[in-house]
Structure 1
Amino acid sequence: MSKPKVAFYWCASCGGCEEAVVDLAEEILQVVEAVEIAFWPVALDFKREDVERLADGELVATFINGAIRTSEQAEMAHLLRAKSQILIAFGSCSHTGGVPGLANLYDREEILRYVYEEAPSVINPQRVRPEERIEVDEGMLTLPSFWGAVQTLDQTVEVDYYLPGCPPPVGLIRSALQALLSGNLPPKGSVLAPDVALCAECPRKPTKPERLALKELKRPHQVLIDPETCLLAQGLLCLGPATRSGCGAACITGNMPCTGCLGPTSRVLDGGAKALSAVASILDATGEAEIERILEGIPDPVGLFYRYSLPASLLYRRVGNGERAREGRSS
């Protein structure tokens, strides 16, 4: 009997999700024994044609990490969707847009102009930019189209399950693979992580005051962090109250605040707004001047509250004149 076929693919992301698979260590050998890896171009010599030759639905599951920013990434997402029985958004970038999604604060022209003309390390007096199509002696060369906005995977194709995290914790990967191989999967559309806030599993939970009232917000580099006390109680912006659990409180165990990479629970419509609301509820300020003083401790609100989720949020992207917010391919 042939083994079930699975695939892994990398779109707009840093590659950490691919490394997280390898972090299974010797357990990855059990995965290799149980399945046939039919496509994993970052690790093995596969080509797009290998996927095209597969019958529709021949892949039992595909794990796609990374957001969608180019036409090639969208084409591969559609191709792998057609070939897969189950498609899993693997990691924060495919789940909610991730750090690449912060590019939605800028339009396409601003990004290209900075990268190819204005960046301090660039010397390009002719202002040359890559062309999507250019004819040379050897024939026509093409490049993918660079879209006007970053999209999540499920804004591009239908997604069956979500495995959150930046990168997904090894424990969640292990559980997802076990569920996949056993067929014991939750309803489609589920996020494969506990549906409770991180504070529920935080080792510092006993030190969190019943009522927090902060008159100052601090950044990690400004203070010597107490390794035992609730980070919020120390005035540090920990997003644990607005973030799904399942990571084992890894950052907090490392004496750093949660940054929200596992995304919100199912009861939250907009993760960034939830985090903003959670922080606003613990500020102890009585006047506008005091509020402004406290908020000076958040120099980059979008980068803090929407670090991993801008494309999945109600905001989605910054809109220029004459643009509509949901036109991901707009220039």
Structure 2
Amino acid sequence: MEDDKNSKPKLKLAIYWGAACGGCCVSVLDVHEKLLDIVAAADLVFWPLALDIKYKDLEAMPDGSIDVTLYNGAIRNSENQHIAMLLRQKTKILVAYGSCAHMGGIPGLANFSTKELLFDRIYCDTESTENPEKIKPQPIYKVPEGELKLPIFFNDVLTLDQVVCVDYYIPGCPPQTERLLEVLMAIIKGSELPSKKSVVGAYEKSQCDECERKKTENKKIKKFYRPWEIEDDGETCFLEQGVICLGPATRGGCGTRCIKGNAPCRGCYGPPPDVLDPGAKMMSAIATMIDANDPEEIENIIEQIEDPAGTFYRFSLPSSIIRRKLI
């Protein structure tokens, strides 16, 4: 007689990427031997990166038949949007997996530009491009054999929850393997799950609260440096050394992986729950640290920060208050 464990039906798991680099998909494989535990308890029913499966196969699945979907990547075009909506329809628990699905991520920096400007640069103006007719991609292109179709490229990069209802968020670029295992094993074991809309594996306090580097109460900054311009001592707070670190505007929970690798925090975990806008939070934090009273000197110090908008909103622009450049 089979025991209950063997007779229990396996969960159905799906993974998909939208506008993403692929790092989140690689992080799924980083569970190493724990992958055997997942495979023993769940069937992977949809993952175009790893399985020979088509969109029509997903469309044919009954609504709500997939137990868990990990959706990584932002929403950049109509294909991303369509599959996000389809997976929401087919899935019981939809997880925004990684910074791009969670906040817009690196692709979201395109919101500082427009579709037209991006296409001009990519297809016409790059130094290595020869395109005298200035041909750009079109959603529909007619050829003798019929019509060729491409997804519609949106003017805005969107987060997953700006398109569909999301159940949980696993932040990070890429997410920590431990957080993924915690979520999957909790579902597999039937454990009580966090409240809906929770950011899983993240703290409510900032990175600075878990950072082990030496820091003083009253930071004073006379000059800002890019990381390669100074020799990090490996012990002192990056900000006190004049290196931009997004720790004050980023929630903890990642184990300060970048900082322990002697690199400043980039902000991929997103802001703590009491921070409405990470860029505004960083500007406020830095304003209190500048060691100057003369307006001209203050301006000169601030001008040393390279690409402040891109730095402060590196992972979070589409989910921030400003969302994009005004056009």
TM-score (norm. length: structure 1): 0.93
Q: Equivalent of 1:185, from 178, 185, 193?
A: 193
Alpha-carbon displacement from aligned partner over 1:123-144 (angstroms, at most 9, x marks no partner): 1111111221122233221110
Contact 1:195 1:245 in 2 (8 A): yes
1:83 maps to 2:90: yes
1:278 maps to 2:295: no
Deviation at 1:183, TM superposition (A): 3.6
1:240 maps to 2:247: yes
Deviation at 1:184, TM superposition (A): 2.1
Unaligned residue ranges in structure 2 (runs of 5+): 1-7
User: How far apart, CA to CA, are the structure 1 residues paired with 2:97 and 2:220?
Assistant: 37
Deviation at 1:27, TM superposition (A): 1.2
Structure-to-structure mapping, 1:288-327, within 5 angstroms: 288-320=295-327
Deviation at 1:161, TM superposition (A): 0.8
1:69 maps to 2:76: yes
Unaligned residue ranges in structure 1 (runs of 5+): 321-331
- Bigger CA drift: 187-196 or 173-182? 173-182
Alpha-carbon displacement from aligned partner over 1:73-109 (angstroms, at most 9, x marks no partner): 1000000000001111111111111010010011111
User: How far apart, CA to CA, are the structure 2 residues paired with 1:154 and 1:247?
Assistant: 22
Deviation at 1:12, TM superposition (A): 0.4
User: How far apart, CA to CA, are the structure 1 residues paired with 2:149 and 2:191?
Assistant: 42
Deviation at 1:66, TM superposition (A): 0.6
SS at match of 2:300: helix
SS at match of 2:32: coil
1:166 maps to 2:173: yes
User: How far apart, CA to CA, are the structure 2 residues paired with 1:8 and 1:113?
Assistant: 33
Structure-to-structure mapping, 1:144-155, within 5 angstroms: 144-155=151-162
Q: Which residue of 1 aligns with 2:208?
A: 199
Q: Which residue of 2 aligns with 1:218?
A: 225
Contact 1:172 1:246 in 2 (8 A): no
Deviation at 1:233, TM superposition (A): 1.8
Percent identical residues: 48
Deviation at 1:216, TM superposition (A): 1.4
Q: How many residues align?
A: 318
1:260 aligned partner, one-letter code: G
User: How far apart, CA to CA, are the structure 2 residues paired with 1:290 and 1:180?
Assistant: 55
Alpha-carbon displacement from aligned partner over 1:207-226 (angstroms, at most 9, x marks no partner): 11121111111210100001
Q: Which residue of 1 aligns with 2:61?
A: 54
2:323 aligned partner, one-letter code: Y
User: How far apart, CA to CA, are the structure 2 residues paired with 1:167 and 1:273?
Assistant: 24
Q: Supply the RMSD in Å over aligned alpha carbons.
A: 1.2
Moved over 6 A (4+): none
